[in-house]
Amino acid sequence: MAPRTEPRDATLPLRGFRLHYVEWGDPTAPPLVLLHGITGHARTWDTLSVALGEQWRVLAVDQRGHGDSEPAPDGDYTVGAMADDLGAFADALGLSTFSLVGLSMGGRVAMGFAGANPSRVERLVIVDIAPDIHPPGMARIRQMIAGAPEAIESEEWAVETAMAANPRADVGELRHRIKHALRREPDGTLTWKYARDLREMMRRGGRREPMDLWERLTHITCPTLLVRGAESDVLSPELAQRVIAALPDGRLVEVQDAGHTVPGDRPAEFVAVVRRFLGAGR
């Protein structure tokens, strides 16, 4: 995956920390905000952003403690805190309404925000997540994050390790994601960009979410698309059907030969699904 152009980088002071985001497309076009999953970053969305940049003002956010944004000043990585970040981000850019795409953790943040602010979200895409997480997928993710080493041997080692963990991944997408997920420390050590307190949180058993996201789903009034990887261990078929039943205007699409990280496993198919759904509302 090689974007035709590079995005515009920007940083905002927001709720006690600095939030980084990248922007693609015409600044006067309708806004579309993209939220990545846990340990992810804004550049995981580059393929989708390039594809949609001719019609949308695409804003891909590094959520608190991820990518080039600063860690949470209070160590709070709950859905509620991140949903409040999204509201503050939209307010800072003057976005009264916008469309929203969220993967995994980002999808839960999108649920929380859209359920609390239904009039602000025009169309919503939730990617492979529900308010509850299928236990096998939750166990895998916790183990992966908790066991991640502090120092990375090399970028190539990180790619090979990630491919071994997810053989379905598109190799070009995976290389691009890892390239933007690593940073070089002053002492020369190569490490992941995401905040270390996220890793410690997973070692302690994960975050405690006080928000009832099932209840929030019932307040989302905009057309909503749930995208499930047909081989996902995070969003089971039963959970997907429960999400659709809770949404006032929901529909489900399954992407074949994809696991949990649908955009990274089947990028072309994912772009087609999202473009078709977003285009239906314009």
Name the burial class of residue 255, with classes exposed (0-12), middle (13-18) and buried (19+) by CB atoms within 10 angstroms of its CB. buried
Asked if residue 48 belongs to a domain, the reply is yes
- Separation between Cα atoms, residue 159 and residue 185, nearest integer Å: 19
Task: Compute the residue count for the chain.
Answer: 282
Match 């940083």 to its residue by tokens: 11
Longest C-alpha distance within the chain, in Å?
A: 53
Asked if residue 262 belongs to a domain, the reply is yes
CA atoms within a 13 Å half-sphere pointing along the CA-CB vector of 139: 4
Cβ 162 vs Cβ 174: under 8 Å: yes
What value, to the nearest 5°, has the Cα angle with vertex 178 and ends 17 and 168?
125
Asked if residue 141 belongs to a domain, the reply is no
How many structural domains comprise the chain?
Answer: 1
Asked if residue 87 belongs to a domain, the reply is yes
Q: Is 44 helix (H, G, I), strand (E, B) or coil?
A: helix
pLDDT attached to residue 280: 64
DSSP 30: P
- Separation between Cα atoms, residue 64 and residue 70, nearest integer Å: 6
- Separation between Cα atoms, residue 115 and residue 124, nearest integer Å: 11
- Separation between Cα atoms, residue 267 and residue 251, nearest integer Å: 20
**Residue in 224, 226, 234 with CA at minimum distance from that of residue 261:** 234
pLDDT attached to residue 4: 59
Domain with 56, as residue range(s), is 8-134+211-279
- Separation between Cα atoms, residue 55 and residue 279, nearest integer Å: 9
pLDDT attached to residue 2: 45
Bridge partners, 220 (sequence order): none
**Residue in 211, 241, 215, 213 with CA at minimum distance from that of residue 228:** 241
Asked if residue 203 belongs to a domain, the reply is no
- Separation between Cα atoms, residue 170 and residue 56, nearest integer Å: 25
Please tell me the pTM assigned to this model.
0.95
Asked if residue 200 belongs to a domain, the reply is no
Asked if residue 152 belongs to a domain, the reply is no
Asked if residue 166 belongs to a domain, the reply is no
Strand arrangement of the beta sheet that strand 98-103 belongs to = 8-14, 17-24, 57-61, 31-35, 98-103, 121-127, 224-229, 250-255
C-alpha 213: how far from its chain's center? 17
Q: What's 13's domain CATH number? A: 3.40.50.1820
| pLDDT tens across the length of the chain (282 residues) | 445 578 999 999 999 999 999 999 999 999 999 999 999 999 999 999 999 998 999 999 999 999 999 999 888 999 999 999 999 999 999 999 999 999 999 999 999 999 999 999 999 999 999 999 999 998 888 888 877 788 898 999 999 999 999 999 999 999 999 999 999 999 989 999 999 888 787 777 666 777 899 999 999 999 999 999 999 999 999 999 999 999 999 999 999 999 999 999 999 999 999 999 998 656
